[in-house]
């Protein structure tokens, strides 16, 4: 057959085109095959290592234009924290997203790397998002695949004794030997600084922190903590408990993966009752709730199989994604209203107490429990018989009573000599100003009348468990460069709950201001004794009080230096800065 030159060229081009198309099809097939062949280790009672988790998420990012993996700030072990982001609009810069249309869900995993089911579940979740992107057009999912990288790298077979898999897992503490889920206020770890920046960049509407727990044995592979209702903004609480909580329990039950509230025991067994967990701001969900983000914690059951723990956690994350996508408009509006409400609130509760007089009844699926003789100690211990399933009513204590509140000032004034505190505040995107000149201000200054600290440190600090204060109005000199902060901003609740020294997780309790607890000026008895005599002679009321104390306190009456100190601390020689909380409240 004779072919013209034009026909030959056409056939050649057609042949080359078909070959190119074949290569594209083969490449796409190989990519999809590779994607579908993620070897999920939880199916073999193993978990992803840190490197494996990042590698799989990087593959998903390369495969899907809707997923991006991003390096963030440093951690204590020197590795950078990652976020993996899903967005149907393919925009991964939080400064460029349309916040009027997109709800944001932030997921945090492996804050305790021995509790790693969330890592595996998140890889599975993003695999699903990569092929079902159209189902989540109204949602941005941001996940920290591994938060405690140092603990994740510290793998062994001996973390989490008695846990039903995986074969190896990470260690609870980070490289600095800190429990990162106690660090969200005191902020000792680089991980925490990175988290603050991620959180405020994305401003999520919902937050999920994935965990594993123990304490008792029961039939539920997964339990759930919802940020405690009474301490939440009322608008946020009504939405969370009126709509979200019921949805999660219902949909998980429909998937035949029933969950219950976190089994936080009142005493030693579920039969005696459980209580809602009061996650104060030191914890991740308590911290995010200060900014009107709905905080959730999944608590997988340590004694369930690792495969079940991962699958239940995955289904909960997936369910939360579905809810967030469908209800994105409501979530956005609810957060806005809660922020507006906080800015108008003039009183905040800063300490709470469990209400033991009020309880709901929960139908609980457990196991028969008996006390048996320990083969190790010869003493009695609990024993759960997994062959004898039981369903029984359990008292569920859900309410906390406010026991201490505080009025909100217009401003806080912070001396510049506390740079770590100021840096932490800046990370919260708090608006602050600095004085351009030295100035004298009139305002309220707290005096620390009662402060107790433990003998042993807790998370690198001697946490002040008991703090009592008395406010005194006075004039105080501040200097050029000192900081003044208006409370008329979205961070109003955060500022009150961290800068009021007797708030449950205040910076003061975490030793940010222990320097003021030590008296600096003293005296010699031989030099001060004649001055003390003159002070008593010049002040009849002081002398009367002094004589009365000597009369009624025999120990004081025998203490020469103690008596002089008593007079010294009531004189102008005594420094006003001693036990004076250095932050001024201006009304």
- DSSP 3-state of 528: helix
C-alpha 411/C-alpha 49 separation (Å) is 48
Bridge partners (DSSP) listed for residue 382: 371
Res 11 pLDDT > 90: no
CA distance 279 to 82: 25
Burial 108-145 (b: 16+ CB within 10 A, else e): bbbbbbbbbbbbbbbbbbbbbbbeebeebebbbbbbbb
Token pair 């509407």 in the structure block, residue: 205
> Three-state SS for 388?
strand
Q: How far is CA 140 from CA 68, 85, 103, 345, in A?
A: 12, 7, 6, 30
Q: What is the CATH number of domain 66-343?
A: 3.40.630.10
Assign 3-class secondary structure to 565-583. Answer: HHHHCCCCCCCCCCCECCC
Burial letters 12-40, b for 16+ CB under 10 A, else e: eeeeeeeeeeeeeeeeeeeeeeebeeeeb
Mean pLDDT of 405-416: 98
CA distance 24 to 29: 8
3-class secondary structure, 435: coil
Q: What is the mean pLDDT of residues 489-498?
A: 98
In angstroms, what CA-CA distances link 578 with 159, 236, 482? Answer: 46, 41, 20
- Cα(first)–Cα(last) distance of the chain, in Å? 100
pLDDT in tens, 153-209: 999 999 999 999 999 999 999 999 999 999 999 999 999 999 999 999 999 999 999
Query: What pLDDT is recorded for position 24?
Result: 46
Q: How confident is the model at residue 9 (pLDDT cuts 50, 70, 90)?
A: low
Rounded to whole angstroms, the maximal C-alpha distance in the chain is 132
The DSSP element (H or E) to which 144 belongs, if any, is: strand 139-144
pLDDT above 60 (res 573) = yes
The stretch 62-88 carries a mean pLDDT of: 97
HSE-up of residue 561 (Cα within 13 Å, Cβ side): 4
Q: What residues does each domain of the chain span? A: 66-343, 408-517+582-586
CA nearest neighbour of 215 among 260, 265, 165, 166: 265
Q: What distance in Å separates the CA atoms of residue 23 and residue 105, rounded to the nearest whole number?
A: 38
Strand order in the sheet with 260-261: 67-74, 80-87, 139-144, 103-108, 206-213, 294-301, 222-226, 260-261
pLDDT band at 27 (very low <50, low <70, confident <90, very high): very low
DSSP symbol at 256: T
Q: What is the pLDDT of residue 30?
A: 46
Strands annotated E in 331-414: 347-354, 360-373, 380-397, 400-407, 411-414
pLDDT in tens, 495-512: 999 999 999 999 999 999
Q: Does 23 score more than 70 pLDDT?
A: no
Task: Output the pTM of the full model.
Answer: 0.92
């Amino acid at each position: 057959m004779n072919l013209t030159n034009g026909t030959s060229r056409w056939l050649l081009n057609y042949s080359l085109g078909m070959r190119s198309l074949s290569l594209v099809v083969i490449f796409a097939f190989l990519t999809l095959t590779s994607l579908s062949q993620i070897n999920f280790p939880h199916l073999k009672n193993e978990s992803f290592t840190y490197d494996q988790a990042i590698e799989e998420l990087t593959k998903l990012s390369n495969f899907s234009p809707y997923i991006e993996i991003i390096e963030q700030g440093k951690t204590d072990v020197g590795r950078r924290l990652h976020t993996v982001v899903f967005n149907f609009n393919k925009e991964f810069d939080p400064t460029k997203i349309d916040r009027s249309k997109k709800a944001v869900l932030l997921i945090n995993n492996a804050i305790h790397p021995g509790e790693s089911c969330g890592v595996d579940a998140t890889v599975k979740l993003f695999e699903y998002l990569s092929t079902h992107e159209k189902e989540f057009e109204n949602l941005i999912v941001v996940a920290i695949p591994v938060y405690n990288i140092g603990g994740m790298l510290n793998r062994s077979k001996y973390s989490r004794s008695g846990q039903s898999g995986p074969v190896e897992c990470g260690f609870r503490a980070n490289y600095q030997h800190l429990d990162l889920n106690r660090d969200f206020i005191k902020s000792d770890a680089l991980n925490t600084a990175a988290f603050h920046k991620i959180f405020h960049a994305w401003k999520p509407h919902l937050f999920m922190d994935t965990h594993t727990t123990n304490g008792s044995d029961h039939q539920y592979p997964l339990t759930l903590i919802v940020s405690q209702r009474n301490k939440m903004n009322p608008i946020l609480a009504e939405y969370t408990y009126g709509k979200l909580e019921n949805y999660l329990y219902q949909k998980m039950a429909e998937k035949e993966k029933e969950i219950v509230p976190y089994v936080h025991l009142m005493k030693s067994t579920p039969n005696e009752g459980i209580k809602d967990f009061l996650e104060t701001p030191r914890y991740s969900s308590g911290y995010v709730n200060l900014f009107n983000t709905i905080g959730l914690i999944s608590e997988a059951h340590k004694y369930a199989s690792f495969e079940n723990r991962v699958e239940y956690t995955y289904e909960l994350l997936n369910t939360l994604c579905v809810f967030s996508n469908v209800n994105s408009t409501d979530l956005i509006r609810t957060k806005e209203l809660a922020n507006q409400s906080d800015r108008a609130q003039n009183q905040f509760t800063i300490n709470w107490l469990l209400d033991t007089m009020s309880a709901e009844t929960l139908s609980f699926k457990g196991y028969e429990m008996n006390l048996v003789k320990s083969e190790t100690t010869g003493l009695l211990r609990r024993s759960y018989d997994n062959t004898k399933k039981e369903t029984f009513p359990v008292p569920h204590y859900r309410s906390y009573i406010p026991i201490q509140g505080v009025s909100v000032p217009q401003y806080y004034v912070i001396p510049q000599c506390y740079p770590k505190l100021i840096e932490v505040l800046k990370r919260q995107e708090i608006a602050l100003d600095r004085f351009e000149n030295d100035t004298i201000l009139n305002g309220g200054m707290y005096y620390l009348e009662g402060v107790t600290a433990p003998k042993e440190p807790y998370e690198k600090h001697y946490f002040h468990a008991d703090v009592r204060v008395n406010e005194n109005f006075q004039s105080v000199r501040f200097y050029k460069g000192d900081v003044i902060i208006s409370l008329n901003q979205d961070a109003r609740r955060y500022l009150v709950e961290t800068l009021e020294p007797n708030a449950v997780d205040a910076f003061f309790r975490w030793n940010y201001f222990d320097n003021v607890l030590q008296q600096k000026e003293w005296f010699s008895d031989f030099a001060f004794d004649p001055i003390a005599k003159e002070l008593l002679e010049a002040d009849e009321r002081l002398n009367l009080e002094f004589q009365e104390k000597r009369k009624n306190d025999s120990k004081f009456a025998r203490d020469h230096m103690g008596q002089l100190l008593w007079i010294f601390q009531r004189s102008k020689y005594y420094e006003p800065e001693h036990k004076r909380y250095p932050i001024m409240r201006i009304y």
